Amino acid sequence: MAYFFTSESVSEGHPDKIADQISDALIDNFLAFDENSKVACETLVTTGQVILAGEVKSNTYLDVQQIARDVIKKIGYTKSEYMFDANSCGILSAIHEQSADINQGVDKANKEEQGAGDQGIMFGYATTETEDYMPLALDLSHKLLQELAELRRENNEITYLRPDAKSQVTLEYDDDNKPKRVVTIVLSTQHDDFVKPENNSVEAKNTAEKTMQDQIKKDIVSILIPRLLKKYPQYQPYFNQEITYHINPTGVFIIGGPHGDTGLTGRKIIVDTYGGKGAHGGGAFSGKDPSKVDRSAAYAARYIAKNLVAAGVADELLVQVSYAIGIAEPMGVFVNTYGTAKVNLTDGEIADKLQQLFDLRPYHIEQTLKLRKPIYSETAAYGHMGRKNEVVNKTFKNPNGEEKTIEVELFTWEKLDKIDAVKQAFNL
């Protein structure tokens, strides 16, 4: 039966994503100078203010205020009129030492017996809908905002953009569960007050706002959308002239960022994962070192799901892993192929077989996916899944004047290096 499905994304300038990026920048800096650091860091951002809180066990010292300011500056909050400025916002740190009760369950004499940093359930998902094995609606939502951010930084074709933005894409699916077309695109972008009212009357104010809204919609449809489709031609078949666009549907969006809404770490967990497809265990990622299975096991589950789908085990696949705090072995592994399996095995049998291919103990996840490296800042906006696996150099400085340049591999959980092993195990 045909149906509609919707996913949303938010830009790097969204208040919740500012918080995520600050928290993950702290993780990266701690790991750069002490890869054994244990960190759980939450960030709150509001008008002119940043509050950092959390628990840390590390042998390094950081200037957390400067790290936060660098992140805010990089995002683009550099003007006082935004009411949130990298140079002038207040930053309060309430970071303290990690609980010894938690630490004793994680650190073990034998590293392979390292316990999970918390109890919980984590999910990984993959689908053949897109080349990166991600749901199409979320993929499009992310890419719309990434292109919008590029237009903002170029400040050429569109010159009034501010950092805060949200997108939403609704798809129509056919009877065979395949995406058929884009039905609706919702996009709200913060902008300068670039048309002033002729006088102080309500009518003049409404006219100015309508003029701005019309200009923004025109630019989104005639500049952003063609640019997106030129860069990603594989999406062109889903676009036509009948798409409904809701661009800045409230009329104006001048007040935005942390001045418009308070932002908190970990409030965009569906944006971070699969846009509502598959499932979510409820645990956020940003601000957590990889001993926290909320993060590392979710990455491992994505790694498993993607490699199984790419190998041809199923067209769509969900993996669930569960843990108890302080215990290395997972409590259970669950698989759902949604009836798309291409092997003559039940979902339970697939779950049993994948455990022979993938070691899901926390220490082995960390080692396999190289999670003790400073790789997390790049994950904190536009999704943790479906991103490009690449090797980059990153440079870090601490208050003692020490500088480190480290070669790291980003998004290791997106690698398809287990396909051959999966095919052999499943006789594909």
Residue 42 is labelled as binding a ligand = yes
Q: Please tell me whether 288 is known to bind a ligand.
A: yes
Q: Tell me which residue of 314, 290, 143 sits closest to 231, measured CA to CA.
A: 143
- The answer on pLDDT for 109 being more than 70 is no
Determine whether the annotation assigns residue 16 to a binding site: yes
Residue 175 confidence class, pLDDT cut points 50, 70, 90:
very high
- Of 3.90.79.10, 3.90.1150.10, 3.30.300.10, 3.40.50.720, the CATH number of 3-8+136-256 is 3.30.300.10
The two three-digit tokens of residue 388, written as one number: 């490009």
How far apart are the C-alpha atoms of 220 and 10, rounded to whole Å?
Answer: 16
pLDDT of residue 97: 83
What is the arithmetic mean of pLDDT over 304-315? 98
Q: Using one digit for the tens of pLDDT, what is the confidence trace for 112-141? A: 778 888 899 999 999 999 999 999 999 999
Would you state the torsion angle of the CA atoms of residues 305, 143, 140, 85, taken in this order, to the nearest 10 degrees? 100
Q: Is 165 annotated as a binding residue?
A: yes
Instruction: Give me the pLDDT at residue 104, please.
Output: 55
Q: Is 263 in contact with 15 (CB distance < 8 Å)? A: yes
**Does residue 108 carry a pLDDT above 90?**
no
- pLDDT at residue 321, as a whole number: 98
d(Cα 183, Cα 330) in Å, to the nearest integer?
41
- Mean pLDDT rounded to a whole number for the chain: 95
Q: What is the pLDDT of residue 186?
A: 98
Q: Is 353 annotated as a binding residue?
A: no
CA dihedral over 320, 324, 326, 330, signed as positive or negative:
negative
Contact status, residue 333 vs residue 308, Cβ threshold 8 Å: no
Q: Is 268 annotated as a binding residue?
A: yes
For the CA atoms of 377, 378, 383, 387, what is the dihedral angle to 10 degrees? -150
- The model's pLDDT over 377-415, given as tens digits with 9 standing for 90+, comes to 999 999 999 999 999 999 999 998 899 999 999 999 999
14 marked as binding residue: yes
38 is in an annotated binding site: no
Task: Give per-residue pLDDT as tens, 324-381.
Answer: 999 999 999 999 999 999 999 999 999 999 999 999 999 999 999 999 999 999 999 9
Q: Is 315 assigned to a binding site? A: no
pLDDT of residue 379: 98
Residues 5, 174: Cα–Cα separation, whole Å: 11
Closest to 421 in 3D by CA, of 349, 356, 362: 356
**Is 98 labeled as ligand-binding?**
yes
CATH architecture entry for 120-127+290-425 = 2-Layer Sandwich (3.30)
Token code pair at residue 15: 């208040």
For range 28-41, the mean pLDDT: 96
What dihedral do alpha carbons 302, 307, 312, 315 form, nearest 10°? 20
| 373 annotated as belonging to a binding site for a ligand | no
Check the annotation: does 227 bind a ligand: no
Listed in order, strand segments (DSSP E) in 197-331 are 244-247, 263-264, 316-323
CATH 3.30.300.10 region(s) of the chain? 3-8+136-256, 120-127+290-425
pTM: 0.96
